[in-house]
A and B are shown apart, each in its own frame.
Chain A
Amino acid sequence: MVKRLSVYGDYETTKWVIMKQRSWIQRRDGVWQRYWYKTRVKVTVEESGRYEFYGRGRDLYRAVRLAQHYMPKGYVEVEARDFIENPEEYGVPGEWIWREIES
């Protein structure tokens, strides 16, 4: 019997973000000229995501356990067996966090 389970919530993960950084260069005529260059910075971000697992019971349980460490890249609908075999394709390392939402 094919079952479906969802694992969802908010999580914290690190991401490489491209940012502009200001620098100065001295020209031949002696003037200091400002310029910007692009650099990669590692930042911690809070996001929300969701896994939709389907498959057989044993695979589902293993996928749910693995999902504790691999945060979903947005909305991910995947067969539990595929996720177990290649979690990096569907998720990124991170940690689930609790964020109270007033509604």
Chain B
Amino acid sequence: MYLGSGYGVKLNPNCILGYTDDETVMLDFDDTPFKKVKYWAQVAMKHFELGGFLILKSSENHYHVVFNHRVNWAENMSIVAWVSLQSNNQNMLRYLRMQCIKKSSTLRIGPKGEKPSPRIVYREGNEDTQIKEYLETRKFLKKRSGALVKSL
């Protein structure tokens, strides 16, 4: 039984918890080393003037990138498509297609099976807009349920 009445309730790790937004540029790098992820995050930030970014490690060689500036949905998908084509990343193209179907971007914030919650490994630039919102949501869930996002 996972549901309880108090705080710090253990949630079922079999269901995945994600953060969804259509105005935040979010990238999912699968099977990519950290150096490449950092390089492409810096290139995208400078090219599209995204203000800053955050790199989170979801598992070995799997990283998420969240950018700071608010963009509209069309611009968002254009940036993700540009990065996936420039970096020749087939996994990101698949991620792009899935987000287009849903019409919003989602990144995992909770644990997934045996994988822990994504943790921050690198920050660059400003964190006052979209990154702030993203971090607030993570913090809120951590505060409400310690077991849910244990390794933030």
Contact = CB atoms under 8 A, between A and B. Distances in A.
Given A52-B20, A65-B9, A98 B14 contact: yes
Contacts of B18: 5-8
B128 to A, nearest CB: 14
Interface in B124-141: 133, 136-137, 140-141
Nearest to A69: B3
B144 to A, nearest CB: 5
B133 A97 contact: no
Interface residues of A, number: 24
Main secondary structure, interface of A, reads: strand
A74 to B, nearest CB: 13
Given A5-B137, A6-B106, A57-B140, A64 B21 contact: no
B17 A7 contact: yes
Nearest to A4: B20
B11 interface: yes
A95 B2 CA distance: 10
Interface of A: 1, 3-11, 52, 57, 61, 64-69, 95-98, 100
